[in-house]
Amino acid sequence: MSADLAIRVEALRKSYGTHDAVAGIDLAVEQGEVFALLGPNGAGKTTTVEILEGHRDRTSGSVQVLGHDPAKHERAFMERVGIVLQTTGVDRYLTVREAVQQFAGYYPHPLPVGEVLAVVGLEEERDTRVRRLSGGQQRRLDVAIGLAGDPDLLFLDEPTTGFDPTARRQAWEMVRNLRTLGKTVFLTTHYLDEAEQLADRVAVIAGGRVIAEGTPQDLIAAQPETTIAFRLPAGVALPPEVASALDAPVQEADGWLRLQVPNPTAPLFALTHWATEAHIDLGDLTVTRPSLEDVYLSLTGTTAEAEQAAPQPRRGRSRR
Amino acid sequence: MSTFGLILHQVRYEWRSFWRNPAAAFFGAIFPLIFLVIFNLVFGNNEISIPGGTTHASTFYVPAIAAMAVVNSCFTGLAMNAAVSRDLGILKRMRGTPLPAWAYLLAKIIQMSLVALLIVAIVVVAGLLFFGVTLQPRMLPAFVLTVLLGSATFSALGLAVTALVPNADAAPPVVNGIALPLLFISDVFVRSTSAPGWLSTVANIFPIRHLSLALQTAFNPFEAGNGFDASHLLVLAIWLVVGAALGRRFFSWEPRR
């Protein structure tokens, strides 16, 4: 096995009764990269990350995290990872600084508390009691505590769920700061833009299986279709000879005409040549490359209904 | 950092956090004092004769209330606190740090024992100052050791009992359902004179009566010797081992819903 990998997972399976929450997945995460496990609710993300953290036992498969088997809960392993759970709490009566100091005290080489608070942007709240923090600030404190011991690997389980857009932007900035510290980050999210913004590589998980893996650009490139969309003025129809020159069937919906083509150059020429000749305005014409969202929806669309039918038991986020 | 240093670090933060919750700390500390006043108002503080001489009734009230305070803060209070921490995800987060599980539990037991010692000290000082109670200096080591052993025992049992508590909402009925009946049959509130023999046997199996009686021995001004009540202390020590073993085995870091 490669010693360079931060995380190596082979044929990981976790069953609850007859239900496979994780149905045999392989993952390889390089040191120093930000890796996102992306999937809809109930896809098996939290189950997977909690097995990697040592919080849950696996049913079968092999797992190596920083060269350790996390299920053994070895102290040498716990000293090198920082864990930010999806649902977690801190002693509410301590101040922000005290809470970070408390956790820093468990590690042999902790980061200076001031530095940790700077990374997560909680310097001004250092003397605020934990119970007085807003939801977004508490989440940043969760990350600060995960960082307190200067871990080589940081787990972030849905770090921005429930955030407003501003708080999400701030949290993303924080994760980018982590990258500059050289940390390996293993992130789970059901937000595509989050994976696209933060991750070097993404594994898409649904129904307990990895259904796609690669850089965000790779995943997009794997979906080669470009969408051409336009509207025609009232009373104008697309002549059959033009339609047949467009390489793909034209679908009409809500007054829009759409077609998906591998290469837009020739169809665009056929379309605009006809429109120019006939003096027809195609003012709404758009040409769109697929987004990660399109890829994600096409990948997970078929499994989403199955997940609805058999949701994995999830714990709600407790009030603090 | 050495494991000893880790435990000390943990005790310091647990201690700090405990006193930061003003309502809980206040009532934990003042509750036994209120009992002492009420006992005096309701039952009086008459001179009573016991083998060796006469003393105030408060000489019996104070150790009984001290026993109640230990059970209340270490068993009931700690079990409820642990159930809430578990629901809030605090315990699960602790489990994801290098702090060993047993070190966390031991730190809780040490911290609560220190809290209980302080609470008992408040009642004892009030008894000495206002209710004519005496504590022989030669008995003081026995009294302190009994309080600490009792506190450690009930803290360990309080952590162990959380295994029977699925979530924080269920904690008060489960924990009180165990502690209150035992307090009543263990001669802490009232001395049972007409209770059937089997009830006394039940009380003798569980540790509350042994703590109360051991504290009374260390409080009796006419007791010869240094106040160590070996047989009762032995029962407490056995329950300490039982509680620690059960806690180590069954303590759960995540709530069941």
Average pLDDT, chain A: 86
Q: What is the CATH number of domain A225-289?
A: 3.30.70
Nearest CB to B89: which of A53, A85, A105? A85
Q: What is the pLDDT of residue A311?
A: 41
Q: pLDDT grade, residue A234 (50/70/90)?
A: confident
User: Which residues on chain B place their C-beta less than 8 Å from a C-beta of chain A?
Assistant: 1, 6, 9, 13, 16-17, 20-21, 85, 87-90, 92-93, 95-100, 255, 257
Domain boundaries, chain A: 5-220+305-318, 225-289
What's at A57, amino acid-wise? D
Say yes or no: do domains A5-220+305-318 and A225-289 share a fold. Answer: no
Q: In whole angstroms, what is the distance from residue B87 CA to residue B242 CA?
A: 25
Tell which phi-psi region holds residue A161, choosing left (phi > 0), alpha (psi between -120 and 50) or beta. beta
C-alpha distances out from residue B217 to A124, B64, B183, Å: 55, 11, 18
Phi, psi of A82 (to 5 degrees): -115, 135
Residue A283 has pLDDT above 80, yes or no: no
Chain A neighbors of B17, CB-CB under 8 A: 91, 93-94
Answer whether A91 sits within 8 Å of B17, measured CB to CB: yes
Q: In whole angstroms, what is the distance from residue A69 CA to residue A63 CA?
A: 6
Q: What is the pLDDT of residue B197?
A: 86
Nearest CB to A85: which of B16, B93, B98? B93
In chain A, % of residues over pLDDT 70: 92
Q: What is the pLDDT of residue A235?
A: 83
Query: CA-nearest residue of chain B to A104?
Result: B97
Query: CA-nearest residue of chain A to B14?
Result: A91
Architecture in CATH of A5-220+305-318 = 3-Layer(aba) Sandwich (3.40)
Helix (H, G, I), strand (E, B) or coil at A144: helix
Handedness of CA B238, B239, B241, B242 (dihedral sign): positive
Nearest CB to A93: which of B9, B20, B255? B20
Phi, psi of B130 (to 5 degrees): -115, -15
Tell which phi-psi region holds residue A232, choosing left (phi > 0), alpha (psi between -120 and 50) or beta. beta
Residue A203 has pLDDT above 90, yes or no: yes
Residue A306 has pLDDT above 60, yes or no: no
Chain B neighbors of A106, CB-CB under 8 A: 1, 6, 9, 97-99
CA atoms within 13 A on the CB side of A4: 3
Residue A65 has pLDDT above 50, yes or no: yes
Contact between residue A312 and residue A42 where contact means Cβ atoms under 8 Å apart: yes
The DSSP output letter for A125 is: G
Residue B120 has pLDDT above 90, yes or no: yes
**What's the alpha-carbon Rg for chain A, to the nearest Å?**
24
Chain A interface disruption, residue of B88, B256, B257, most A CBs within 10 A: B88
Q: What is the pLDDT of residue B1?
A: 66
Closest of B218, B184, B11, B231 to residue B103, by C-alpha: B11
Smallest CA–CA distance, residue B163 to chain A, in Å, is: 18
Answer whether B13 sits within 8 Å of A91, measured CB to CB: yes
Query: CA-nearest residue of chain B to A50?
Result: B96
* Interval A153-201: pLDDT, tens: 999 999 887 778 887 888 888 888 888 888 899 999 988 888 888 999 9
Q: pLDDT grade, residue B206 (50/70/90)?
A: very high
Neighbouring residues of A280: CB distance < 8 A, sequence distance ≥ 6: A232, A233, A236, A274
Q: In whole angstroms, what is the distance from residue A123 CA to residue B137 CA?
A: 52
C-alpha distances out from residue A44 to A84, A207, A317, B83, Å: 17, 7, 17, 27
Chain B neighbors of A55, CB-CB under 8 A: 92, 95-96
Record the tokens describing residue A269, joined without a space.
């020429």
User: Which residues on chain A place their C-beta less than 8 Å from a C-beta of chain B?
Assistant: 53-55, 75, 78-79, 81, 83, 85, 87-94, 98, 102-103, 105-108, 129, 145, 149, 315, 318, 320
Q: In whole angstroms, what is the distance from residue A69 CA to residue A209 CA?
A: 21
**What's the alpha-carbon Rg for chain B, to the nearest Å?**
19
* Interval A75-128: pLDDT, tens: 999 999 999 998 888 998 999 999 999 999 999 999 999 999 988 889 999 999
Q: Quick one: average pLDDT of A275-286? A: 88
Question: Considering only A61-70, A132-141, A297-306, which range has the smallest mean pLDDT?
Answer: A297-306
Q: What is the pLDDT of residue A3?
A: 57
Chain B neighbors of A95, CB-CB under 8 A: none
Q: Quick one: average pLDDT of B12-18? A: 92
User: Comparing A314 with B80, which gets the higher pLDDT?
Assistant: B80
Q: Quick one: average pLDDT of A136-152? A: 92
Query: CA-nearest residue of chain B to A102?
Result: B13
Answer whether A87 sits within 8 Å of B1, measured CB to CB: no
Answer whether B89 sits within 8 Å of A103, measured CB to CB: no
Average pLDDT, chain B: 91
Q: In whole angstroms, what is the distance from residue A286 CA to residue A256 CA?
A: 11
Chain A neighbors of B92, CB-CB under 8 A: 55, 85, 87-88
Record the tokens describing residue A253, joined without a space.
């919906």
Pairing of strands A60-65, A256-261: unpaired
What's at A302, amino acid-wise? T
Question: Considering only A22-26, A177-181, B12-16, B203-207, which range has the smallest mean pLDDT?
Answer: A177-181
User: Comparing B149 with A177, which gets the higher pLDDT?
Assistant: B149
Q: What is the pLDDT of residue B189?
A: 75
> The pTM is what?
0.83
Answer whether B99 sits within 8 Å of A87, measured CB to CB: no
Q: In whole angstroms, what is the distance from residue A294 CA to residue B115 CA?
A: 59
Chain B neighbors of A72, CB-CB under 8 A: none
Query: CA-nearest residue of chain B to A84?
Result: B93
Chain B neighbors of A92, CB-CB under 8 A: 88
Residue A313 has pLDDT above 50, yes or no: no
Query: CA-nearest residue of chain B to A143?
Result: B93
Nearest CB to A105: which of B9, B20, B87? B9
Q: In whole angstroms, what is the distance from residue B225 CA to residue B13 CA?
A: 39
Q: What is the pLDDT of residue A317?
A: 41
Tell which phi-psi region holds residue B9, choosing left (phi > 0), alpha (psi between -120 and 50) or beta. alpha
Contact between residue B135 and residue B219 where contact means Cβ atoms under 8 Å apart: yes
Closest of B13, B19, B158 to residue B99, by C-alpha: B13
Query: CA-nearest residue of chain B to A129?
Result: B20
Would you give the distance in Å from CA B231 to the centre of its chain?
18
Q: In whole angstroms, what is the distance from residue A191 CA to residue B63 CA?
A: 61
Nearest CB to B89: which of A81, A88, A129? A88
The DSSP output letter for A129 is: B
Contact between residue A207 and residue A23 where contact means Cβ atoms under 8 Å apart: yes
Contact between residue B31 and residue B65 where contact means Cβ atoms under 8 Å apart: no
Most confident range, picked from A40-49, A72-81, A309-318: A72-81
- Token look-up 């802490």 returns B188
Closest of A166, A190, A136, A220 to residue A307, by C-alpha: A190
Neighbours of A205 (CB within 10 A): 28
The three state secondary structure string of A40-72 is CCCCCHHHHHHHHHCCCCCCEEEEEECCECHHH
Q: What is the pLDDT of residue B257?
A: 66
Tell which phi-psi region holds residue A240, choosing left (phi > 0), alpha (psi between -120 and 50) or beta. alpha
Nearest CB to A106: which of B85, B87, B98? B98
Question: Considering only A151-155, A217-221, B220-224, which range has the smallest mean pLDDT?
Answer: A217-221
Smallest CA–CA distance, residue B244 to chain A, in Å, is: 21
